[in-house]
Amino acid sequence: MEVAPLEPSTRRSWQGYIDNHIRPALGAIPMRELTTFELDRFYQALEERGGRCRHCWWRVRNGEPALGPGASYKPSERAAARVHEPDCARGLPLAPATVHQVHIIVHRVLAQARKWKLITVNVADDTTRPSVPTARVKVPKPRQVATLLNAAMARDRNFGVFAWMAMITQGRRGEACGIRWPAVDFDDAELAIEGTVEPGGRWKPYPKNDQQRVIRLDPVTVAFLQAERQAQRAEATTAGFDLVPDAFVFAHHTTPG
């Protein structure tokens, strides 16, 4: 983990898998003695009983044991006591996609160890993992999209435009959140997708010629964005401020940062 070139969000996710699954099961086995057979048993055990509820996930992460059914616990110091229903002490079935993610980490670790000449063979190459079913995307019908957009516009203007742009850009939510006004070219009716907002609110620009793209905007979208910018300028003027040139197109009025 000290040398792995990982994004912050990926690093946090991988560290969670290491702390909750990989280290408890494999941490005591010397790397040269690890076998494909042991990895297959590990993946099978994860699939059958490697899952836990969110509360027990954090307990294990902090070095505490998982809870069994009927145990009393408090989600926080000030919260009322609750009864724990699932048998996290024994373990719950883990999704095949999660088992596959654990395998990716194990394989990456062993590949790095092979580069360092600590081992000669990556025993994760020939392991058997559960197949990951392909997710079936249910595309909403036009009238459903129209109902959603109308409801969003009626509730909050900025949120309505956000929902519209999320549909237009067809990208990740972080990309829609990361749109800044300089990226909108009203003269040529184009939008440049230049970065994304990561968990925690940090804006990350995309490298040049990598993930950056330009989207042509239709007249309705241009009109929505022009009305939104005028409204934001008017609100800023009313509050005694000027809208900064590189302002985000979408920012909640109580948490503009």
pLDDT of residue 209 exceeding 80, the answer is no
- Note whether residue 74 is domain-resident: no
Do residues 148 and 225 share a domain? Answer: yes
**Residue 166 belongs to domain spanning:** 142-238
**DSSP track, 113-149:** HHHTTS-SS-TTTT------PPPPP-PPPHHHHHHHH
Do residues 178 and 215 share a domain? Answer: yes
Task: pLDDT band for 255, please (50, 70, 90 cuts).
Answer: low
- Output the CA torsion sign for 240, 244, 250, 252: negative
- Note whether residue 155 is domain-resident: yes
* pTM for the model: 0.65
- Note whether residue 108 is domain-resident: yes
Do residues 182 and 111 share a domain? Answer: no
Question: Domain total for the chain?
Answer: 2
Rank 153-162, 184-193, 230-239 by mean pLDDT and report only the highest: 184-193
For Cα atoms 180, 182, 187, give the angle at the middle one, nearest 5 degrees. Answer: 125
Do residues 99 and 155 share a domain? Answer: no
Do residues 104 and 175 share a domain? Answer: no
- Residue 199 CA to residue 9 CA, distance in Å, equals 7
- Note whether residue 61 is domain-resident: no
The predicted-structure confidence for 31-78, as pLDDT tens digits, reads as follows: 999 999 999 999 999 999 999 898 888 888 788 889 999 999 988 888
- Note whether residue 219 is domain-resident: yes
- Note whether residue 83 is domain-resident: no
Please give the average per-residue pLDDT across 206-228, as a whole number: 87
CATH number at residue 190: 1.10.443.10
Do residues 164 and 111 share a domain? Answer: no
- Note whether residue 31 is domain-resident: yes
pLDDT at 254: 58
- Note whether residue 85 is domain-resident: no
Do residues 169 and 228 share a domain? Answer: yes
Q: Are 140 and 170 in contact (CB under 8 A)?
A: no
Do residues 107 and 146 share a domain? Answer: no
